[in-house]
Amino acid sequence: MGLKDRVKRAERHLKVNGTRIELEDGSTLTVADQDFIDRFGSNMERLEAAYAGTPVPPPHPLAVALLEARYLPTRLEKMAEQQRLIELQIDEMKQQREEAPL
């Protein structure tokens, strides 16, 4: 199998099994359906931690990619906006905890 065939095979596999996101630095990230589910769980854990006043875990790599994407497919634009809102909400909760009197 030649290089051209391998590239075509990889592209077909990507179309069926993943979504490719191009980041601002020019690198790309390929994500599978499971990554979207994992991102949701990660966001819930982070919101819970922010609400409880405990250390907030880092965001899922897909969440970071959505925030740092150079170009997103149309179906991911809304998801990126939702991620921005979640990050703002977490930051606001952290700030409120820091400003609250003991």
Q: What is the pLDDT along the chain (102 residues), one digit of tens a residue?
A: 677 777 666 666 655 568 889 899 989 888 888 999 999 999 999 999 999 999 999 999 999 999 999 888 888 999 999 999 999 999 999 998 888 776
Structural domain includes residue 90: yes
- Residue 101 lies inside a defined structural domain of this protein: no
The Cα 39–Cα 28 span in angstroms is 18
Per-residue model confidence (pLDDT) at position 52? 93
46 within domain boundaries: yes
Number of domains within the chain: 1
**68 with 43: CB under 8 angstroms?**
no
**Which two three-digit tokens encode residue 16?**
């069926």
Domain presence at residue 35: yes
- The side-by-side arrangement of strands in the sheet containing 69-71 is 28-31, 19-23, 69-71
pTM of the model: 0.77
Scanning the structure block, which residue is given the tokens 């969440």? 63
State how beta strands 69-71 and 28-31 pair: unpaired
For residue 26, is it within any domain? yes
